[in-house]
Amino acid sequence: MANSDLTEYAREGFDQVPARYLESSAAWYAYHLGRHLYVTGRDEPHAVRMSRGYTIRANGLLFRHVGTCDGRQQFQRVYE
């Protein structure tokens, strides 16, 4: 699954489509990263792929899922 393109799921999150993915699946992470990108004012997601552990790549950047705050999934950019 590490090489699967998850851009479609991330765009759904970015477009604020209601969530419909199994929690902790790759699609779920991509969806919530898309929402995070929208909320933080970043560009629309492209080239989205899972990386190691709870990290996910999008827009040429690496993000790590760090938990939930105020009912939203939170991601932190990882500097390589």
Predicted TM-score (pTM) of the model is: 0.88
C-alpha 17/C-alpha 9 separation (Å) is 10
pLDDT of 2 over the 60 cut: no
pLDDT of 7 over the 80 cut: yes
CA distances from 27 to 1, 48, 50 (A): 10, 10, 9
What pLDDT score does 25 carry? 93
C-alpha 14/C-alpha 35 separation (Å) is 5
CB 77 within 8 A of CB 61: yes
